[in-house]
């Protein structure tokens, strides 16, 4: 990000298969290494990731998509709707996956 602004290129990279894999891998690693309080333990270091995790954990894919459209009205997010729904699904599955 540049000066706290998100670019369309950064959104596309985040939603790419590689970007989605990185997010899922990061969540998996944080959960395994930091345990039950993993979200709280990464809040200061990774506020944007925590924001994404919170959005996924507490909203349906449709609700999250509508929220993003309202939050970022200058971006044509409808062109990324399928990828946003996919990211929501894979992250939600990882967040909810039982640990043993």
Predicted confidence pLDDT, tens digits, the chain (100 residues): 444 577 888 889 999 999 999 999 999 999 999 988 999 999 999 998 999 999 999 999 999 999 999 998 988 899 999 999 999 999 999 999 887 6
Beta carbons within 8 Å of 81's beta carbon, 6+ residues apart: 65
**pTM to 2 decimal places:** 0.85
Rounded to an integer, what distance in angstroms lies between the CA atom of residue 93 and that of residue 98? 10
The pLDDT of residue 100 is 65
Q: What H or E segment, with its residue span, contains residue 2?
A: none
Q: Could you identify the residue written with the tokens 């990828």?
A: 83
């Amino acid at each position: 990000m540049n000066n706290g602004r998100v670019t369309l290129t950064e959104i596309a990279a985040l939603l790419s298969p590689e970007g989605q894999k990185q997010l899922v891998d990061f969540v998996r690693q944080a959960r395994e290494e930091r345990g039950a309080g993993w979200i709280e333990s990464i809040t200061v270091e990774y506020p944007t990731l925590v924001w994404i995790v919170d959005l996924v954990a507490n909203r349906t894919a449709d609700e999250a998509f509508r929220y993003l459209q309202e939050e970022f009205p200058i971006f044509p997010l409808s062109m990324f709707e399928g990828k946003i729904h996919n990211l929501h699904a894979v992250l939600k599955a990882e967040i909810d996956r039982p640990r043993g």
